[in-house]
Amino acid sequence: MSKIVGCSNKILEVDLQSKIVTIYTVTKELRRQYLGAKGLGIKLLYDRMIPGTDPLGPDNYIAFMPGILMGTGAPCSGRFEAITKSPLTGIMAASSCGGPFGMALKTAGWDGLIITGRADTPTILDITDQGAEFKDGAPFWGQQIPEVQAVLDIKKSKSLVIGPAGENGVLFANLASGHRFLGRGGIGAVMGSKNLKGIVATGGSFSIRPHDPVKFKKLCKTATQYINRNPLSADKYRNYGTSANVEPCNRAIILPVNNFQDGQHESAVQVFGETMARDHDTSHHTCKPCTIRCGHKGMFADKEMSAPEYETIGLLGTSLGIFDLDLIALWNRLCGRLGIDTISAGGTLAWVMEATEKGLVKSELAFGQAAGIEQALEDMAFMRGFGAEMAMGSRFLSEKYRGKEFAIHVKGLEMAAYDPRGSFGQGLAYAVANRGACHLSAYMVAQEVYLDLLKPDSAFGKAKWVKFFEDLTCCINSLQTCQFTMFAFLLEPPLSQYTPKPLLATLMQYLPDLAIQLIDVSLYQGLWNAATGIHLSKQAFLRAGERIHVLERLMNTREGIDSRDDALPLRLVARGRASDIKKRVVPLEKMKLQYYRTRKYDEKGIPKETHLKKLGIL
């Protein structure tokens, strides 16, 4: 087996139409500026993609980018990124996945795969250490994801596969690697539009070694110690998965109920993570390698299935008025087989239920009723009847039938399962996130609800914190490692660990600039330095994250995005939650203006040319 030290710096480029395969070499300077995974993928697509490109046309690109840490054995490093232009939103979509495809691609010798064009017939793209071959995908067309994986995932070959939803152009179709999904933004539909049923990478030709193995091993040991003593990573997520979020979100009145009409429900205890572990015999079902082990499986409806994640419980469960884990797990499995994002599917179904109540559309769907949901999901995937319109998402439906005020999306992407009326920073993060209503662009709910470090109903300082976490998240998604490592990597270093919590909270709330300067990101920065041999200071490391985020914003503004699109649904800024006696709403405009100033955008939310030059983008 050959050895790669640091990075191979080889990107495989494939044109499905011409069947031309080329190799692009990443320079040291490009690596320094954009790190890898998400950052490098964004930059490569920026250099190639023409503004106005049809997301479902042959000229769209998809980049699949393993992280810098992939294959090194670093904690929680088995992740890769996909980047494309979204058919659901019309802007950039980046999604992270923990399935085995990334490891196979990396150990085949490739630091990335870029695909464009459209194959004439259904195709399977076969990646080896020698390049790419085009194989007949017709026998797999129409098959559900597990059926295809059973054939393609053999020995060292690992696949990325779309289901019928991707083939049929469902705008929120996803794709699967093992039991993990690239979920948001309709990446599966982009693959389907290219007649690409799946990609298979055969790995194992190369081992991955860090540039400084002694330092790297020491940092990995510290990272593991931090993870194993942090209450969220070592207790809540390890024991209950992300379903551990249900209880604190219900308590904080931010759990979506009946399409975000409320944020709390007495029946929510039935879907708590603790309830799931107790009643459904859950066990670990994780990405590899993983130290946190948040993924779980269990017995639901007398069958072993993947345990629903928090977002699925919120959007395919409580937001539909459903509090039955067996049903939610069954719908989750169905979405996984068909290749549908559970967040957008649930957000769309919730809109239909409310629109049906209000007489805007005719359907059999109703809050609290399971009848018709399974059929609706299948109708979406196969574009049957009204399902063909539901497959376009809640923005499309609300523009056609009215009801925009309760279409819970931002920029066309359905909102994740946190009601921002009880987490103002999360509200700002949703509104300005580059891919739409994304909770993972800046996971402010952790600081505001789980950790009680920032006041959830205060606007003060939130713009600065959103910017900081956006930049850091871009760094993490470019390494790549799991975002859940933030709990341990930021809170367990000595300065955070031994600062009394009241003092830490006071600093974060009232002196955000000072608190941000004191945050220790040295584990992420150190892992980067040791893995690549390219030294970046803390400032340069975070500046790379800023550069990545701002470049992605620039790509969106080239598509017409501006301050008018950085908005929340009317329900969240004008109407309080039923269970909130104070009837709080998100003071978005005040925070948004502060955010633009912090980001050095103009009043329309466009990055200023002077700042783009300072970042080295122009």
Q: Is the pLDDT of residue 324 over 90?
A: yes
If you write DSSP's letter for every residue of 360-422 in order, what string do you get?
A: SS--S--TT--TTHHHHHHHHHHT-TTHHHHTT-HHHHHHHHS-GGG--EETTEEP-S--GGG
What span, in angstroms and rounded, lies between the C-alpha atoms of 520 and 352? Answer: 45
Residue 19 in any domain: the answer is yes
Of 150, 183, 209, which marks where a domain is finished?
209
User: What percentage of the chain carries pLDDT values higher than 90?
Assistant: 98
- Give the pLDDT score at 1: 81
Q: Are residues 115 and 251 in the same domain?
A: no
Q: Under a CB-based contact definition with an 8 Å cutoff, are residues 590 and 427 in contact?
A: no
Q: Are residues 238 and 279 in the same domain?
A: yes
User: What percentage of the chain carries pLDDT values higher than 70?
Assistant: 100
Q: Are residues 281 and 331 in the same domain?
A: yes
Confidence of residue 415 (pLDDT cuts 50, 70, 90): very high
Q: Are residues 25 and 83 in the same domain?
A: yes
Q: Under a CB-based contact definition with an 8 Å cutoff, are residues 101 and 201 in contact?
A: yes
pLDDT, mean of residues 134-151: 98
Of 369, 385, 401, which marks where a domain is finished?
385
Closest CA to 478 of 96, 99, 219: 96
Q: Which domain holds residue 350?
A: 214-385
Positive/negative CA dihedral, 282, 284, 286, 290:
positive
Q: Are residues 205 and 325 in the same domain?
A: no
Residue 233 in any domain: the answer is yes
Q: Are residues 192 and 225 in the same domain?
A: no
Residue 498 in any domain: the answer is no
pLDDT, mean of residues 563-583: 97
Residue 308 in any domain: the answer is yes
Query: Coil, helix or strand for 199?
Result: strand
Q: Are residues 83 and 145 in the same domain?
A: yes
Closest CA to 292 of 231, 345, 333, 344: 231
Q: Are residues 204 and 67 in the same domain?
A: yes
What span, in angstroms and rounded, lies between the C-alpha atoms of 290 and 294? Answer: 9
pLDDT, mean of residues 33-54: 98
Q: Are residues 20 and 150 in the same domain?
A: yes
Q: Are residues 80 and 12 in the same domain?
A: yes
Structure tokens at 293: 């082990």
What span, in angstroms and rounded, lies between the C-alpha atoms of 557 and 423? Answer: 27
- Give the pLDDT score at 251: 97
Of 323, 354, 385, which marks where a domain is finished?
385
Domain count across the chain: 2
- What CATH number did the domain enclosing 60 receive? 3.60.9.10
Q: Are residues 99 and 238 in the same domain?
A: no
Q: Under a CB-based contact definition with an 8 Å cutoff, are residues 414 and 374 in contact?
A: no
Q: Is the pLDDT of residue 287 over 90?
A: no
Residue 564 in any domain: the answer is no
Closest CA to 439 of 426, 449, 428, 451: 426
Residue 341 in any domain: the answer is yes
Report the chain's mean pLDDT, rounded to a whole number: 97
pLDDT, mean of residues 272-296: 92
- What CATH number did the domain enclosing 365 receive? 1.10.569.10
Residue 63 in any domain: the answer is yes
Q: Is the pLDDT of residue 288 over 90?
A: no
Q: Are residues 284 and 377 in the same domain?
A: yes
Q: Is the pLDDT of residue 357 over 90?
A: yes
What span, in angstroms and rounded, lies between the C-alpha atoms of 535 and 522? Answer: 12
Residue 133 in any domain: the answer is yes
